[in-house]
Amino acid sequence: QVQLVESGGGLVQPGGSLRLSCVASGRISSINTMGWYRQVPGKERELVAGIGSGGRTNYADSVKGRFTIFRDNVKNTYLQMNSLKHAETDVYYCNAVTWGGTTEWGQGAQGTVSS
């Protein structure tokens, strides 16, 4: 199994930045892809960014050029969010998909963009 713990949420003004961190533990070697999703109550959870085991990344169109997903090692995955908008006030979830096809989620980190 894989466990994911998130940190780095908080309050920023529009145009500000946040960096989210996701620390994986357990069977780290089983992880195929990592990703970040966001969700508000009553809406579907939406992919923000993903990164594969080979380093290939993908982003939602709405965040391209502003957000960056990256790893500094197999354990830690980050989402750098720049030029944040009010509409991006969401709970952000770290996600891992294993080679065996299972999915794990972090506990969620609240990102609030407000003036």
Q: How confident is the model at residue 96 (pLDDT cuts 50, 70, 90)?
A: very high
Indicate the Cα dihedral angle 47, 39, 90, 6, nearest 10°.
-70
Residue 102 has pLDDT above 90, yes or no: yes
41 CB-near residues (< 8 Å, 6+ apart): none
Largest pairwise CA distance in the chain: 44
pLDDT of residue 40: 87
pLDDT at 58: 97
Query: What digits encode the pLDDT tens for the residues 6-56?
Result: 999 999 999 999 999 999 999 999 999 999 999 988 999 999 999 998 899
* Cα separation values, 63 from 25, 56, 88, 102, Å: 28, 16, 10, 26
pLDDT of residue 41: 83
Is residue 23 a contact partner of residue 81, using CB atoms and an 8 Å limit? no
3-state secondary structure of 10: strand
Q: What is the pLDDT of residue 49?
A: 98
Whether 37 contacts 50, CB under 8 Å = no
User: Tens digits of per-residue pLDDT, 42-93?
Assistant: 999 999 999 998 899 999 999 999 999 999 998 999 999 999 999 999 999 9
Instruction: Determine if residue 65 is left, alpha or beta; phi over 0 gives left, psi from -120 to 50 gives alpha, anything else beta.
Output: left
